[in-house]
């Protein structure tokens, strides 16, 4: 069914149009797709629908205000090839993660960023105009004798000075002098024009500026914080899709296409991985915390907190941090020596076990 690709396509169209639906091609006892699906035996294929190939008539929306599906579509009018068909909602998985007042349609991502994108386009045009008109300077033309306004206008018209820039020239006599005033050929830095737009886009989209520029290699270590925030936003978006995945998995278990399980959880691959040094620091702190627990808990209790089995032969039934003096009642000399030897043996076996476990890891 190419499920992974269809889910990716579903996310793309949902972000583009504000909503999308995953169409389920089912083998069931109902021949008419506009009727509810009854006892589906198999999911044949998946198709993604949205504004580009699907419409929802207001008459096909649920009008019962007491229904859990109030306002949601009961029927989808889809376009397949040159034909249009009505599809019942039980054969669709609806997805709209940014519903703001509308029952089934959300806000497109581009609608949120439209003003920023428009401002970025205008700023690029402003850069070109600024470079053209100011970076190269403007022409200061001096004539030899005092001229009237009409004479100046005629001189400008005759020499086409309105089109004059640093890439053109005009021919004049010895009594006329031209000088370019302005930046005098110095390069104009476009950074301030671009940075404002990129920072605005970054704030609206949660995408770091470095990712928008497409250059992240060799950046300072502080950028890892931005990367974690960015991938945190991606993880949040993934969690919004979980209801769609759960429904699809439940349907596949119902049809027997995958094994049925009583409980399951979705685990998304991490987009950001901690460095080896950070992981080592975390492991060190965890080991130190376990070592502190040994002051009031037995070894087996600490292992149980981490889902590990008790040590064999009662080796873990000891509190390493508990001193012998804390025990009540003065022991006999022989008993004290016997107890010390027993505790020393237990600690020796425990330390030997830890060394073996470390080698296995």
Q: Per-residue pLDDT tens for 204-230?
A: 676 777 777 776 555 544 455 566 666
- Distance between CA atoms of residues 78 and 21, nearest Å: 11
Give the model's pLDDT for residue 165.
62
Give the least confident one: 39-43, 303-307, 351-355. Answer: 351-355
Mean pLDDT, the chain, integer: 78
Residue 167 reports pLDDT greater than 60? no
Q: Each residue of 269-285: pLDDT tens digit?
A: 776 677 788 788 888 88
Kindly state the average pLDDT of the residues 167-193: 63
Integer Rg of the chain from CA: 37
Please say whether the beta carbons of 190 and 152 come within 8 A. no
* Strand segments (E) across the chain: 20-27, 42-49, 54-55, 75-80, 83-88, 92-95, 138-142, 177-181
Domain residue extents for the chain: 3-107, 110-181, 191-236, 289-360
Instruction: Phi first, then psi: give them for residue 287, nearest 5 degrees.
Output: -65, -40
Phi, psi of 322 (to 5 degrees): -90, 120
With vertex at residue 180, the alpha carbon angle to CA 179 and CA 183, rounded to the nearest 5 degrees, is 150
Q: What's the whole-number mean pLDDT along residues 40-50?
A: 92
**Residue-level pLDDT at 9:** 94
For residue 18, how many other CB atoms are within 10 A of its CB?
23
Mean pLDDT, rounded, for 275-304: 84
CA–CA separation, 316 and 297 (whole Å) = 10
Higher pLDDT, 347 or 121: 121
CA distance 216 to 213: 8
pLDDT-based confidence at 105, cuts 50/70/90? very high
The predicted structure's pLDDT at residue 221: 46
Q: Which residues, 6+ apart, have CB-to-CB distance to 74 below 8 Å?
A: 60, 61, 62, 88, 89
Nearest Cα residue to 311 out of 357, 344, 343: 357
- C-alpha distances out from residue 225 to 76, 160, 230, Å: 44, 57, 9
- For residue 54, what pLDDT is reported? 94
- What is the DSSP track for 79-98? EETTEEEEEEGGGEEEE-S-
- Weakest-pLDDT range from 30-44, 124-138, 171-185: 171-185
- 66-70, 141-145, 149-153, 223-227: range with highest mean pLDDT: 66-70
Q: Which of 286, 264, 282, 260 is nearest to 273 (CA)?
A: 282
Q: What is the pLDDT of residue 270?
A: 72
Distances (CA, A) of 149 to 143, 146, 154, 156, 276: 12, 10, 9, 11, 77
For the cut 80, the answer to whether the pLDDT of residue 324 exceeds it is no
pLDDT at residue 3 is higher than 80: yes
Q: Are 317 and 300 in contact (CB under 8 A)?
A: yes
Task: Specify the range with the lowest mean pLDDT, choosing from 31-35, 248-252, 349-353.
Answer: 349-353
Residues 6+ apart with CB under 8 A from 81: none
- Say what the pTM is: 0.55
Sign of the dihedral through C-alpha 299, 304, 308, 312: positive
CA distance 158 to 151: 10
């Amino acid at each position: 069914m190419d499920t992974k690709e269809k889910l990716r396509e579903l996310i793309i169209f949902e972000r583009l149009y504000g909503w999308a639906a995953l169409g389920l091609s089912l083998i069931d006892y109902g021949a008419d797709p506009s009727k509810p699906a009854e006892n589906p035996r198999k999911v044949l294929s998946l198709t993604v629908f949205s504004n580009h190939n699907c419409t929802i008539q207001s008459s096909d929306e649920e009008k019962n205000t007491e229904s859990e599906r109030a306002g949601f579509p009961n029927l989808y009018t889809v376009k397949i090839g040159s034909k249009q068909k009505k599809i019942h909602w039980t054969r669709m998985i609806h997805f709209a993660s940014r519903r703001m007042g509308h029952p089934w349609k959300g806000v497109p991502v581009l609608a949120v960023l439209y003003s920023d994108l428009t401002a970025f386009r205008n700023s690029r045009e402003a850069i070109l105009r600024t470079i053209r008109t100011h970076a190269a300077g403007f022409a200061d033309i001096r004539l030899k004798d005092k001229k009237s306004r009409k004479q100046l206008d005629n001189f400008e018209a005759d020499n086409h000075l309105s089109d004059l820039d640093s890439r053109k020239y005009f021919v004049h006599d010895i009594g006329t002098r031209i000088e370019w005033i302005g930046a005098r050929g110095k390069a104009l830095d476009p950074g301030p024009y671009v940075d404002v737009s990129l920072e605005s886009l970054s704030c609206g989209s949660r995408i770091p500026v470095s990712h928008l520029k497409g250059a992240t290699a060799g950046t300072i270590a502080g950028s890892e914080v931005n990367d974690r925030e960015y991938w945190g936003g991606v993880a949040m978006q993934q969690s919004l899709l979980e209801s769609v995945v759960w429904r699809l998995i439940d349907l596949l278990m119902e049809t027997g296409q995958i094994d049925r399980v009583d409980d399951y959880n979705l685990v998304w691959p991490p987009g950001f991985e901690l460095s080896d040094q950070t992981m080592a620091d975390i492991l060190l702190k965890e080991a130190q915390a376990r070592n502190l627990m040994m002051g009031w808990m037995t070894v087996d209790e600490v292992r149980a907190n981490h889902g590990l089995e008790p040590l064999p032969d009662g080796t873990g039934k000891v509190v390493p941090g508990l001193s012998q003096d804390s025990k009540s009642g003065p022991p006999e000399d022989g008993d004290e020596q016997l107890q010390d030897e027993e505790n020393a043996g237990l600690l020796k076996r425990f330390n030997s076990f830890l060394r073996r476990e470390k080698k296995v890891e």
